[in-house]
Amino acid sequence: MLIAEHNKTVRSRFSIQNLLSRQAPQVEIKQIEMAFLASTKNLAAGLLAVLVIFSGILNIPSPKENKEILPYAISWAFTLTFFLMRGIYLTKAFMHRTLSDEEKLHFGRRLAANGAIAGFLWGGSSFESPRVF
């Protein structure tokens, strides 16, 4: 009897309607605000890192290696720069107006998705490039 009552309570507490209609917790809102406060400096440092890595790739001594890797390096640097700039845009849009709690959650999800894509692209820089031999 006690287990059945516990299961009923858990199902009602975690039902889809209850999860979708819940109020945004203030802790989560505060975490999103703090993430946006720190993100501009971090994204700017990421842009600088892309520039340093890309300039290092351009300085590969062998012309044959450079010719093979250059298209990959350009596409990597351009795409990553786009997502880092998008993160800066999201931060500026978040900071320059008053948002409701739901809008803050929405912006937080957008920043997290943008960060996940940028993180995947950072990892993409370590993929093995085609053999140049």
**DSSP for 77-127?**
HHHHHHHHHHHHHHHHHHHTS---HHHHHHHHHHHHHHHHHHHHHHHHTTS
Q: Could you list the pLDDT tens digit for every one of the 133 residues in the chain?
A: 556 555 555 455 555 555 555 555 777 888 888 989 888 899 999 999 999 988 887 887 776 666 777 888 888 899 999 999 999 999 999 999 898 888 998 999 999 999 999 999 888 777 665 554 4
Predicted pLDDT at 102: 87
Are 16 and 89 a contacting pair, CB within 8 Å?
no
